[in-house]
């Protein structure tokens, strides 16, 4: 679906949305989905020009089809979370994720077949270009800048298009947000403080808050942005957590067998661990 001038939302059968930003010379694909069908061919046809790939973070539903491409870009921190393709993005692991989506969308028909779920050999690892903060993709007549926005994962990044000021926020900004909830072996989570600072930095860049596109079309419809207050409310919510100015609650999360702290700001729920509020040493240094 075209959602702005030369910007397309590609929703992968209710799993995750990818975004294609088309410049005069090339296009940028934001995320590669869980991996059903051939997103490379699809994106290249849609753009009619070469496609570069930017991955918002290293989760299976965002990097599933990455091996289709010869080269991808991802933040250095998130790449450190584990091997890009294995074990997180094995076919079995992605299949599990797809099954959860199918259960949620009971009765809905999807036009894909079992063999459309891509499978890659161990050798099929794309060349990975590691990104630091504020990386520009010059697409010809339009530049997309990618900023670190740690929280959901320690090295999550968002993409901001200079032509429209649209933001492609991956899983960094939504009405339901877990920050450093799930342990990552051998890695430090971003603190709430660090997360807030990053969102404030992006805010100050001058984004279009009425056009924030989260990767999951769960609190928005495909083709429609998140409601205009969400980014600011999440950002201010994080600040309130850092200041201790929130009503605390606890919740047991069965799936990860862990108790988390929760805070609500309007209809936005943020899950976190109290001990992760302050950063000190930043996750990306």
Stretch that binds Zn ion, among 126-134, 142-150, 166-174, 250-258 (CB under 5 A): 166-174
Mask 122-161, x = binds Zn ion (CB under 5 A)? Answer: ----------------------------------------
Write down the least CB distance from residue 178 to Zn ion, Å: 9
42-71 binders of Zn ion (CB under 5 A): 59
Specify the 3-state DSSP secondary structure of 2. strand
The stretch among 105-113, 163-171, 180-188, 220-228 that binds Zn ion (CB under 5 A) is 163-171
**Residue placing its CB nearer to Zn ion in the complex, 59 or 142:** 59
Question: Taking a C-beta distance cutoff of 8 angstroms, is the pair 118, 12 a contact?
Answer: no
Q: Which residue lies nearer to Zn ion by CB, 60 or 273? A: 60
Binding mask 167-196 toward Zn ion (x if CB under 5 A, else -) reads: ----x-------------------------
DSSP-derived letter for residue 256 is: G
H/E stretch holding 76 reads helix 76-79
Residue closer to Zn ion (CB basis): 15 or 139: 15
- Pick the stretch among 21-29, 165-173, 192-200, 225-233 that binds Zn ion (CB under 5 A): 165-173
Give min distance, CB of 123 to Zn ion, in A: 26
Minimum distance from residue 4 beta carbon to Zn ion (Å): 23
Tracing tokens 């939302």 back to the chain, one arrives at 9
Residue among 224, 248, 174, 190 nearest 4 (CA) = 224
Strand ranges in 171-256 using DSSP code E only, listed in sequence order: 176-178, 212-214, 249-253
Under a CB-based contact definition with an 8 Å cutoff, are residues 254 and 221 in contact? no
Euclidean distance between CA atoms 241 and 151, whole angstroms: 13
Collect all residues with Cβ–Cβ distance below 8 Å to 193 and sequence separation of at least 6.
242, 277, 278, 279
Contact 128, 74 (CB under 8 A): yes
Q: Which long-range contacts (CB under 8 A, 24 or more apart) does 222-226 make?
A: 222/1, 222/9, 222/11, 222/17, 223/1, 223/3, 223/9, 225/3, 225/166, 226/169, 226/173, 226/174, 226/175
Q: Least distance from C-beta 182 to Zn ion, angstroms? A: 10
Which residue, 27 or 77, has its beta carbon nearer to Zn ion? 77
- C-beta of 49 vs 216, nearer to Zn ion: 216
Q: How far is the CB of 172 from Zn ion (least distance, A)?
A: 9
Which residue has tokens 């099929």?
Answer: 124
Of 161 and 171, which has the nearer Cβ to Zn ion? Answer: 171
- C-beta of 107: minimal distance to Zn ion in Å? 26
Cβ-proximal residue to Zn ion, closest one: 59
Give me the least distance between CB of 43 and Zn ion, in Å please: 20
Site residues for Zn ion per CB under 5 A: 59, 171
């Amino acid at each position: 679906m075209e959602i702005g001038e030369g910007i397309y939302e590609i929703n992968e059968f209710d799993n995750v949305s990818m975004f294609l930003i088309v410049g005069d010379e090339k296009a940028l694909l934001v995320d590669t989905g869980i991996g059903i069908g051939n997103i490379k061919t699809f994106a290249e046809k849609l753009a009619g020009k070469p496609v570069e790939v930017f991955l918002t973070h290293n989760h299976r539903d965002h990097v599933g089809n990455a091996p289709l491409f010869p080269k991808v870009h991802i933040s250095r921190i998130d790449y450190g979370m584990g091997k890009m393709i294995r074990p997180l993005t094995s076919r079995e692991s992605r299949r599990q994720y797809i099954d959860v989506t199918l259960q949620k969308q009971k009765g809905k028909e999807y036009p894909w077949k079992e063999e459309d779920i891509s499978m890659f050999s161990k050798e099929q690892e794309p060349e990975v270009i590691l990104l630091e903060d504020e990386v520009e993709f010059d697409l010809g007549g339009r530049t997309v800048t990618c900023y670190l926005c740690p929280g959901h994962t320690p090295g999550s990044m968002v993409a901001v298009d200079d032509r429209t000021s649209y933001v492609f926020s991956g899983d960094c900004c939504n009405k339901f947000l877990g920050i450093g909830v799930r342990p990552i072996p051998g890695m430090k989570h971003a603190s709430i403080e660090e997360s807030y600072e990053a969102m404030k930095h992006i805010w100050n860049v001058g984004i279009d808050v009425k056009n924030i596109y989260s990767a999951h079309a769960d609190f928005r419809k495909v083709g429609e942005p998140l409601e205009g207050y969400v980014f600011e409310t999440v950002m201010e919510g994080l600040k309130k957590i850092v200041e201790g100015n929130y009503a605390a609650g606890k919740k047991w999360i069965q799936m990860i067998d862990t108790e988390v702290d929760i805070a609500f700001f309007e209809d936005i729920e943020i899950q976190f661990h109290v001990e992760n509020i302050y950063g000190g040493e930043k996750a990306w240094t």
